[in-house]
């Protein structure tokens, strides 16, 4: 799938408020006055930039909350099964493909003036780092980064191994930056709250903790568990509430 930025609907643009309009008029008058102090004009422009950045951040928060109210749980639509070339047990699992995740999220993100893009880089020792950037039409953005080595599973050649990792990290970073989960395809029908978190949920949780600059051991103590892997489905809401509170204090 191509790294495309989601389409922005024109109605998503937030109109300027009275304060912004007044500031613009003051700057316009200053530029028309030949005697106006250039240093003062630069100060006015700096105030304008800070104003716009703050308004953009607030618009982003509103848009992401509106998106979250409509965001669906994404179905794991693909089964993967293969025998390891090094022997051992067969690998079988279900996951949501990148195109399924993107096609599901794109219309709702666009509706609220949000777009995503990816930045990819290859670091030392072949480590691949992917960053998903979620941007609002007014300019504010947030990002989540994950990195991993080439995926050597399933008898892939070297190029396929890199491509598989990029796709894998694109999927997980997109889910993490939007705060969306994928639903389990349960063979036994058991979706009880005592079930452990899925791999996708753990990746998202780690990314959210990293973004909040949270101390993971302290977070685990707060949750009453020894490690993140011990957190159960029934505790996920509590965990995300704690992370949101941590983010709020950090601002």
Which pLDDT tens digit goes with each residue over 197-241? 888 888 888 888 888 888 888 888 776 778 888 887 767 777 777
**Domain count within the chain:** 2
Q: Quick one: 122 and 212 in the same domain?
A: no
Beta strand 74-75 with 78-83 is: unpaired
DSSP for residue 196: B
Q: Which residues, in sequence order, are CB contacts of 155 under 8 Å at separation 6+?
A: 82, 85
Which helix (DSSP H) or strand (DSSP E) does residue 24 occupy?
helix 18-32
The pLDDT, as a whole number, for residue 168 is 87
Handedness of CA 82, 131, 208, 12 (dihedral sign): negative
Given a contact cutoff of 8 angstroms between Cβ atoms, the answer to whether 232 and 194 are in contact is yes
Note the pTM of the prediction, 2 decimals.
Answer: 0.58
Last residue of one domain, picked from the residues 157, 185, 213: 185
Q: Quick one: 172 and 200 in the same domain?
A: no
Q: Quick one: 82 and 9 in the same domain?
A: yes
Q: Quick one: 207 and 89 in the same domain?
A: no
Last residue of one domain, picked from the residues 139, 169, 185: 185
The structure tokens 């240093």 sit at 39
The rounded distance, in Å, linking the Cα atoms of 129 and 142 is: 16
Q: Quick one: 195 and 142 in the same domain?
A: no
Task: Please report which residue ranges of 71-195 form alpha helices under DSSP H.
Answer: 98-111, 158-178
Last residue of one domain, picked from the residues 136, 155, 185: 185
Residue 250 backbone phi and psi in degrees, to 5: -75, -20
The pLDDT, as a whole number, for residue 170 is 92
Range of the domain at 232: 190-251
The rounded distance, in Å, linking the Cα atoms of 183 and 94 is: 10
Q: Quick one: 116 and 65 in the same domain?
A: yes
Q: Quick one: 153 and 229 in the same domain?
A: no
Given a contact cutoff of 8 angstroms between Cβ atoms, the answer to whether 130 and 3 are in contact is no
Burial class from Cβ neighbours inside 10 Å (0-12, 13-18, 19+) for residue 234 reads exposed
Given a contact cutoff of 8 angstroms between Cβ atoms, the answer to whether 62 and 132 are in contact is no
Q: Quick one: 127 and 216 in the same domain?
A: no
Q: Quick one: 8 and 50 in the same domain?
A: yes
Handedness of CA 193, 232, 244, 132 (dihedral sign): negative
The per-residue pLDDT string of the chain (251 residues; one tens digit each, 9 = 90 and over) reads 444 444 434 334 444 555 566 666 766 766 676 666 667 767 767 777 888 889 899 999 999 999 988 887 777 767 666 555 545 555 555 667 888 889 999 999 999 999 999 999 998 878 899 999 999 999 999 999 988 888 877 678 889 989 989 998 999 899 889 988 766 433 333 334 457 788 888 888 888 888 888 888 888 877 677 888 888 776 777 777 778 777 665 55
Q: Quick one: 51 and 65 in the same domain?
A: yes
Q: Quick one: 67 and 133 in the same domain?
A: yes
Q: Quick one: 62 and 162 in the same domain?
A: yes
């Amino acid at each position: 799938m191509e790294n495309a930025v989601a389409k922005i609907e024109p109605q998503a643009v937030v109109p300027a408020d009275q304060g912004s309009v007044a500031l613009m008029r003051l700057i316009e008058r200053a530029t028309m006055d030949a005697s106006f102090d250039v240093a003062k004009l630069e100060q006015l422009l700096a105030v304008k930039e800070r104003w716009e950045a703050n308004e953009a951040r607030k618009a982003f928060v509103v848009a992401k909350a509106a998106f979250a109210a409509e965001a669906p749980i994404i179905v794991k639509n693909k089964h993967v099964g293969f025998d390891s070339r090094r022997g051992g047990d067969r690998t079988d699992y279900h996951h949501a493909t990148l195109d399924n995740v993107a096609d599901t999220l794109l219309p709702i993100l666009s509706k609220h003036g949000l777009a995503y893009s990816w930045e990819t880089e290859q670091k030392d020792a072949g480590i691949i780092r992917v960053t998903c950037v979620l941007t609002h039409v007014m300019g504010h953005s947030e990002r989540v980064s994950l990195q991993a080595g080439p995926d050597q599973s399933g008898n892939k050649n070297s190029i396929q191994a890199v491509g598989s990792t990029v796709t894998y990290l694109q999927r997980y970073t997109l889910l993490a930056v939007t705060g969306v989960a994928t639903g389990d395809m349960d063979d036994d029908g058991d979706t009880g709250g005592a079930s452990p978190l899925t791999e996708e949920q753990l990746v998202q949780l780690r990314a959210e903790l990293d973004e909040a600059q949270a101390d993971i051991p302290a977070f685990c103590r707060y949750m009453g568990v020894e490690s993140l892997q011990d957190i159960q489905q029934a505790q996920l809401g509590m965990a995300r509430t704690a992370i949101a509170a941590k983010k709020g204090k950090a601002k």
